[in-house]
Amino acid sequence: MAHRMELAVKSAVDDVNIVSNFRLFVDSLYKVYSMSPKNQRGLEAAARQTNVHLLKVQKVFDVRWVFSSFISVKALLRD
């Protein structure tokens, strides 16, 4: 049942352009900051200067999409 729910949510997200674009945005942020230590240091320095505690944006996976999306969007909105 959980797998069917995941497939249904993924299908719905793929059909809604705004949500699909937001997913691409989150994936792009993940790629920029996860693959570059220099970018990570710059982001951490900016967070320190503004007294913000960063949550790490996680990769949004196709499997377990709902949970990984929730974690990523929560971090993005909080940061």
Q: Whole-angstrom Cα distance, residue 23 to residue 28?
A: 9
Q: In a structure prediction context, what are the per-residue pLDDT tens digits for the chain, which is 79 residues long?
A: 777 777 777 787 778 888 778 878 888 888 888 888 898 899 889 989 999 888 777 666 655 656 666 777 777 677 6
Q: Residue 6: CB partners within 8 Å, gap ≥ 6?
A: 63, 64, 65, 66
Q: Whole-angstrom Cα distance, residue 62 to residue 46?
A: 31
Which helix (H) or strand (E) segment holds residue 78: the answer is helix 65-78
Q: Whole-angstrom Cα distance, residue 43 to residue 33?
A: 8
Most distant CA pair in the chain: distance in Å? 46
